[in-house]
Structure formats: structure tokens, C-alpha cells
């Protein structure tokens, strides 16, 4: 009989903790995004029951969305955690129209990551591609099914920007009309956000020229 009391009590406690954790993360992100909103003349979309706050702003006619999460495996602002990002990370999303019809994923890797990726690709339908730049290919894993598209969008300017980034975990994804740039950890300053915006914008410009 006692289980009829204990189980509901545990469920209520778990929900209360989840709500408290959600409120705590929301307040932290509002504090984090407020100076960025001022710097970029943006606005902060308020948290809901299922999502955390998100910073929205427009630059050169393009709409950008900035979000963050505290740990891997949690759904935040419509974007789930990505492989390799197990702690706090920040993402910038940019929508492009019309979209290219191509899928592309670029992720900074270490030697072990590359070995695992090559093994996985050998037994799956995934496509590990190259840019033709050995320095870049040694630092980043490229996944796409269209080699010509990779050579077009990964021009020297974008490769140089990615290689010059100080972010240890950096991922760029193109899926349909959306470009996403992820970094490991919370964005710390407008300078960090500038780099993410520039990477997303360069890829968008290259996609527009296809």
C-alpha cells in the first residue's frame, strides 16, 4: 500500500526538480544573452515549458537564432544535442532560401574521431568526403554525398576561417534550408558570436552562389 504514496511522491519530486532546473537554466541564459541582444539589436524569445530562451536578431537581411544548452541529451529551442557535445554548448541557426537540396556536416575532430568515423562509414551509407586541402582534411571530418558541392562551398576563405577558430569542438551542419554552427561551451562574448555568425554567413553566401 505504501507504494501508492511513494511512487507519486517520487514523480512529483522529479517534476519539481526538472522545473527548478529549467528555471535556473533560463535565468542563466537570459543573463548570458542580454548583453549580446544589446550588441546585436536583437530580442530574447522567452522560455516556455519545453524550451529555453533564444536570442533572435537580423544582420544584413538574414535572420539568426542563438540558443544554448547545459548538457547533452536535452531538447532546447527546437535543437537537440549533437554527437560529441556532452556538456554546455551554443548554437547559431540561419535559414537560407532557396535551400540547396544538399546535406553537409563538418566537424573538428581528433585522430581517434577520424579513425572511428572511417570505420563507421565503411559499414554504413554515410559518406566521408574531402575538401582537397590536406591541412583542413586532417583537422575536420566532412560528411556529404556530393563531392562537387563540397568543393564549391568549402572555398579557401571558409576553410581558413574554420582552421583559424580557437574552438576545440566546432560543428557546422547544412540540412534543408537551415545552417547550424555549434561550439562547445556557452558563448562568452560578442567576439565569439561574431565568429559563429561569420562562419554561418560565409556558408550561406557560398550556398547562394551554387
Range of the domain at 95: 3-208
Number of domains in the chain: 1
pLDDT tens digit sequence for 134-188: 899 889 989 887 888 898 899 999 999 999 998 888 899 998 889 999 988 787 7
- DSSP characters over the chain: -THHHHHHHHHHHHHHHHHHHHHHHHHHHHHHHHHHHHHHT-EEEPP-SS---EEEEEETTEEEEEEEESSTT--BTTB---TT--S-EEEEEEE-SS--S-EEEEEE--HHHHHHHHHHHHTSS--EE--S-HHHHHHEEEEES-HHHHHHHS-HHHHHHHHT---SSEEEEEETTEEEEEEEB---SHHHHHHHHHHHHHHHHHHHT-
Look over the chain and give the mean of its residue pLDDT values, rounded to a whole number: 79
Q: How much is the average pLDDT of 65-89?
A: 57
Amino acid at each position: 500500500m505504501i507504494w501508492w504514496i511513494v511512487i507519486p511522491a517520487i514523480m512529483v519530486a522529479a517534476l519539481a526538480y526538472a522545473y527548478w532546473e529549467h528555471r535556473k537554466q533560463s535565468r542563466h541564459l537570459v543573463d548570458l544573452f542580454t548583453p549580446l541582444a544589446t550588441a546585436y539589436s536583437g530580442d530574447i524569445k522567452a522560455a516556455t515549458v519545453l524550451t529555453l530562451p533564444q536570442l533572435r536578431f537580423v544582420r544584413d537581411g538574414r535572420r539568426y537564432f542563438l540558443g544554448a544548452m547545459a548538457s547533452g541529451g536535452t531538447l532546447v529551442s527546437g535543437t537537440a544535442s549533437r554527437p560529441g557535445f556532452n556538456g554546455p554548448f551554443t548554437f547559431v541557426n540561419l535559414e537560407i532560401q532557396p535551400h540547396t537540396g544538399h546535406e553537409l556536416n563538418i566537424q573538428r575532430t581528433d585522430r581517434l574521431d577520424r579513425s572511428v568515423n572511417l570505420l563507421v562509414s565503411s559499414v554504413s551509407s554515410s559518406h566521408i568526403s574531402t575538401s582537397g586541402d590536406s591541412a583542413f582534411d586532417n583537422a575536420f571530418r566532412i560528411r556529404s554525398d556530393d563531392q562537387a558541392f563540397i568543393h564549391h562551398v568549402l572555398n579557401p576563405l571558409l576553410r581558413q576561417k574554420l582552421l583559424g577558430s580557437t574552438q576545440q569542438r566546432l560543428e557546422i551542419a547544412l540540412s534543408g534550408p537551415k545552417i547550424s554552427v555549434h561550439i562547445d561551451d556557452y558563448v562568452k562574448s560578442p567576439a565569439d558570436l561574431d565568429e559563429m555568425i561569420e562562419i554561418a554567413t560565409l556558408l550561406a553566401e557560398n550556398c547562394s552562389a551554387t
